[in-house]
Structures are given as structure tokens and as C-alpha cells.
Amino acid sequence: MEIAFRKITKEALSFELSSENIKFLGKVFRKSSDLVLLKADLLGQIGHTCDRCGEELNLDINEPLEMLLSDGIYKGEIDNLDIVEFYGGVIDFNEILQSEIESIKSSYHYCNKCKN
Ligand SMILES: [Zn+2]
């Protein structure tokens, strides 16, 4: 799913997509001439293997996300928020979703047995 930067105004624009068992839904708003604010939630489950014993488990995901999307390289400075740069004037929501899923998978998760 893609939305062109120029189509995003100060009025919230909703989006929703999913990959495997994860839903990615939220809104985008224009923040400045080259920045768009994204507020969204990741909901669902991600299959993973325990990083200690290798047992299969499902991670319950319920994560709010807030980030800025830049139309091209962002040159300014903003604290406390992730900035994702897109080239070509288009926001690729699948790319955001895939990178969030990858970042969840790349951290360590343990099954209930290994947690205790
Ligand atoms: Zn385990």
C-alpha cells in the first residue's frame, strides 16, 4: 500500500494493512512541507522461536507507533521521534510494516518456561 506525500493534508488520512497475522492501522497527517506524522498501532501475533530453548511461540503484539515520514532526505533535527525517509514522493506502508516486524523479530524473546 502506497500513498503519495502530496495527497496528505492536515486532515487525518486513515490506512490499514496487514501482513501474516499482524494488522497495521492508523492515521497520517501533514506536519510541515516535507514531513508527515504517522500515528498507528501494530496488533496481532508474530510467530517466533524461543531464543533460549528453541520452542515455538506466538508473540502477542499490541504496540503503538509514532514516527515522522520525510519526503526525501530530512535535514533538520527533531528529538524523540523516529524519522523514516522515503524517496520518490511516495510512502510505502508495507515497508514500514515489514521493518517493524523485523525489528520485533530481531530482539530476544523467551517462552514462558524460560522466562520463569
Ligand atoms: Zn524457551
CA 1 to chain centre: 13
Ligand 1 center to residue 69 CA distance, Å? 37
- Grid cell of 14 as nine digits: 486513515
CA 105 / ligand 1 centre spacing (Å): 15
Distance 54 CA to ligand 1 centre (A): 6
Signed CA dihedral, 84, 45, 40, 78: sign only: negative
What pLDDT, in 10s, does the model give residues 21-47? 999 999 999 999 999 999 999 999 999
Q: pLDDT tens for residues 55-81?
A: 999 999 999 999 999 999 988 777 777
Q: Give every strand in the sheet of 13-19, ordered side by side.
A: 13-19, 22-32, 35-49, 56-71, 82-86
Q: Do 26 and 14 contact (CB within 8 A), yes or no? A: yes
Confidence (pTM): 0.89
